[in-house]
Amino acid sequence: MSNSETHRLAPILTLSLFLISPSIAAAADRCAADLQKEYGKYYACALKAQSRATQNGSGPDLRRCRASLEKKISRLTQKHGPDCVAEDPLAIVDVADECVQEITDLTTGIDSGPGPDDVSMCSSGMTASNVLARPALAAKNPPEVEAMSVTPLGNGRARFDVTFAETRAGQCLPTKIPVFSGDRREIELVSENGRRTFSSEISLESKEWQRYSRELAKASTASGPDSVPVFDGRVQRDRGVEPTGPITFLTDDATARPVALPLRPAIAPGIVDPERTLMVKDVLVVEDPVRTFDPCGPGNMPMGTPMGPWTFGYLMQEMVNQPSSGILPADFVLEWMDQWTTVQSVNGQTIPARVAMQDFIDRWLDESAVNGAPPGQLDLSIAPFRLMAIVNRVDLRENASYGGGNCGEGRFVFGLLNTDTCQPVPFTVIFEYGVNMNTCSSCKAYASDWLDLQNHPMGSPNYLDGLEALTHVFTDRNTNPGKPNGSSINQIRTNENALNLLWELREFNLENSGLLSHVTAKQNPIQALNNTNALESWVSTQLNSICAATHTVPDTFSASPFLAAHVPYNAGDFFDYPGSTASIQNLCARFELSLNSCSGCHARETNTFFTHVGATGTRPLGQPAALSGFLTGATGPNPVSDPVGVSAPRTFNDLARRQQDLWAAANVPCLPAMAFQPLRGVH
């Protein structure tokens, strides 16, 4: 290795020695310190391999280094528990290898930059540049944008500048970032004058920029002053912000001066009609005679179209995809319902049976036999479920500007019926489908189609046809060939106390077997861990990520089950732990943990009485489903006093937040859409 190459690698070697310094362990969490040690050792091993390769004129052989790192990480999980390493160990090794490749590029002259400071920064973190190299990871956790601007250059051209926020702990940025514009062309952003600011020349003549300007102008003139609420995550922090005005760089008299772009356009809620675009619960839709079916219509007689495209039976039939799975749809549904009638075991926990489900199964089987079904077989065309709402959750999308991601979820909410009395019972079933679109342009078109629904009268043929076309995108078989049965379903959730006086939430996934299987309730610790030192111990290792709502509640912690297999809960439930009021950061973590859990979101943390759609999970015939104050921002439930009595009351108005988000998803061009930060919630 030449002296010049040794000089260029000195910062990395110095960093490696720093990473294995015992002082780290005294200053940081022991697990994190041990991880840093192993990363440092990996770099030392890689440097030796690279030095040998340079002398031999070959590429470095890192297999021994990789094997050693894998083995050490495995030992760390045994020493500190499985939660010590949040990612899969092999994925961590892959990330490390990519940063080592940056070392190789430096010594072989493949790339003249980054300079020593940049290399040190990347070596210490091994995350951000590698995240950006993986579109699926960048879509989930994109780097935070601090500012964006456009400088007109004339002839429809401009320079686009983006400045990223100070890197998070352990992050680094490469010198070039590929992103995608609305016409699916890749644009390379290049950092010339600093690590955090990237630029590229772009065209302003595309339709998406013209639409953005036009829609911003409409929104700003239609909104009054001080009309826009401000949201911090799910909480409405303020009202009184001016709406975002028209952008000026598309006008004829635009000068060559930078024009700042809004990171989050301030759009007043009234610009988007939530009842036609986000939470569709109008009776003209949920009782549409062509697309829905209800066994308990007027006079307790059936109404609608059996197996219409918005019926429970149709959705289950498409989900099982019998030609692909070989499973009879009736058996598929019966297998699912039978899971309530027997004791289940999930994640090391026992879930008691709720045997009252057998009454609903037997009733449905009897009615199926009368309708001509073979003995013991359910007739899905007369399923005892009433449609309550069709929900657009494009706000759950990932960031597709980097080439990966999805377009959120589409949902159907049903309520169970007692067909003996033709009365709804407190039992909701939510079908939560992923929207299988992984480009910014396709997601923008999908969001635009939802937004355009408000241009048609509720219940009109154009409205109903447009809504049906949108739902077929995610409900039909083979809409996601890479998932079981080719179905786009992400999960099915239930929330009920029809089978037992204690309310209970359950979650089901479609497995490779082709059947629905009972799984853990995501983001909800076991209820018995509430107010315990064990919960505090886990929170203390994840304070930053929980406060930022980027955490994932693990299956196990300290070798014991931690994530709930099911969620039995009461109206006053919220999550707390002994040290939750010890600091501002703990107060923040307690709130975000509780809000993002099933029981907290459906109970005291949001002043919700068990269900967000339908009064206790029911909808009377001929009436729209009631909505919670969490969704509507209604006074009474809002503002919500802090359950631990320390923080200020909080106001929720989630449909207003979703209105702003839908407008942005449909209108913001793909390049500035790189500032979008995914919600990362499950509710």
Tell me the DSSP string of 623-639.
SPPPB-HHHH--BTTBS
374 falls within a domain: no
Taking 50 as the threshold, does the pLDDT of residue 6 lie above it?
A: no
For the segment 368-388, the average pLDDT, to the nearest whole number, is 97
Give the lowest-confidence range in 186-195, 435-444, 477-486, 537-546. Answer: 186-195
Q: Are residues 111 and 29 in the same domain?
A: yes
End-to-end CA distance of the chain: 55
Joined together, the tokens standing for residue 242 give 């001016």
End of a domain among 91, 126, 161? 126
CA 375 and chain centroid, separation:
42
Q: What would the 3-class secondary structure string for 539-585 be?
A: HHHCHHHHHCCCCCCCCEECCEECECCCEEECCCCCCCCCCCCCCHH
- Name the strand (E) or helix (H) holding 409: strand 409-418
263 falls within a domain: yes
pLDDT tens by residue, 392-416: 999 999 999 888 889 999 999 999 9
Q: Are residues 120 and 188 in the same domain?
A: no
Q: Are residues 156 and 197 in the same domain?
A: yes
Q: What would the 3-class secondary structure string for 95-154 be?
A: HHHHHHHHHHHHHHCCCCCCCHHHHHHHHHHCCHHHHHHCHHHHHHCCCCEEEEEEEEEE
133 falls within a domain: no
Q: How far apart are CA 159 and CA 201, in angstroms?
A: 4
Is the peptide bond preceding residue 114 cis, with omega within 30 degrees of 0? yes
Q: Are residues 57 and 149 in the same domain?
A: no
Q: How far apart are CA 188 and CA 403, in angstroms?
A: 12
In which domain, by residue range, is 187 found? 145-271
pLDDT tens by residue, 203-255: 887 788 888 888 888 887 766 666 788 899 999 987 667 778 777 666 656 66
Place of tokens 């062309």: 185
Q: Are residues 109 and 210 in the same domain?
A: no
Q: Are residues 220 and 120 in the same domain?
A: no
Residues 6+ apart with CB under 8 A from 660: 228, 231, 264, 265, 266, 267, 269, 272
- Name the strand (E) or helix (H) holding 426: strand 423-434
Q: Are residues 111 and 155 in the same domain?
A: no
3-class secondary structure, 652: strand
pLDDT tens by residue, 42-71: 656 766 665 555 455 555 666 777 777 777
Instruction: Establish how many alpha carbons lie within 13 A of residue 159's alpha carbon, considering only the half-sphere containing its beta carbon.
Output: 12
For the segment 486-511, the average pLDDT, to the nearest whole number, is 98
Output DSSP code: residue 386: E
Output DSSP code: residue 650: B
Place of tokens 């046809």: 465
Q: Are residues 22 and 113 in the same domain?
A: yes
For 55-77, b/e burial (b = at least 16 CB within 10 A) is eeeeebebeebbeebeebbeebe
Taking 50 as the threshold, does the pLDDT of residue 339 lie above it?
A: yes
Residues 6+ apart with CB under 8 A from 310: 286, 288, 291, 292, 387, 390, 412, 468, 471
Q: Are residues 165 and 96 in the same domain?
A: no
What is the pLDDT at residue 211?
A: 85
Taking 60 as the threshold, does the pLDDT of residue 137 lie above it?
A: yes
What is the pLDDT at residue 537?
A: 97
DSSP per residue over 466-518, as a string?
Answer: HHHHHHHHHHSTTSSTTSGGG--EEEEEEEE-SSSSSEEEEEEEE-TTSSEEE
175 falls within a domain: yes
Q: How far apart are CA 28 and CA 322, in angstroms?
A: 54
End of a domain among 126, 156, 178? 126
- Of residues 317 and 33, more confidence is placed in 317
Most confident of 139-143, 421-425, 435-439, 545-549: 421-425
Instruction: Establish how many alpha carbons lie within 13 A of residue 481's alpha carbon, considering only the half-sphere containing its beta carbon.
Output: 0
End of a domain among 225, 256, 271? 271
- Name the strand (E) or helix (H) holding 308: none
Joined together, the tokens standing for residue 627 give 């909505």
Joined together, the tokens standing for residue 255 give 């000068």
Report residue 431: phi and psi, to 5°.
Answer: -90, 120
Count of structural domains, the chain: 2
Taking 50 as the threshold, does the pLDDT of residue 117 lie above it?
A: no
DSSP per residue over 26-90, as a string?
Answer: HHS-HHHHHHHHHHHHHHHHHHHHHHHHHHHTS----HHHHHHHHHHHHHHHHHH-GGG--S-HH
- Of residues 16 and 143, more confidence is placed in 143
652 falls within a domain: no
Q: Mean pLDDT for the chain?
A: 84
What is the pLDDT at residue 71?
A: 76
Q: Are residues 74 and 162 in the same domain?
A: no
- Of residues 402 and 276, more confidence is placed in 276
68 falls within a domain: yes
Q: Are residues 68 and 119 in the same domain?
A: yes
Residues 6+ apart with CB under 8 A from 54: 1, 5, 107, 108
Confidence tier at 173 by pLDDT (50, 70, 90): confident
Q: Are residues 167 and 258 in the same domain?
A: yes
423 falls within a domain: no
107 falls within a domain: yes
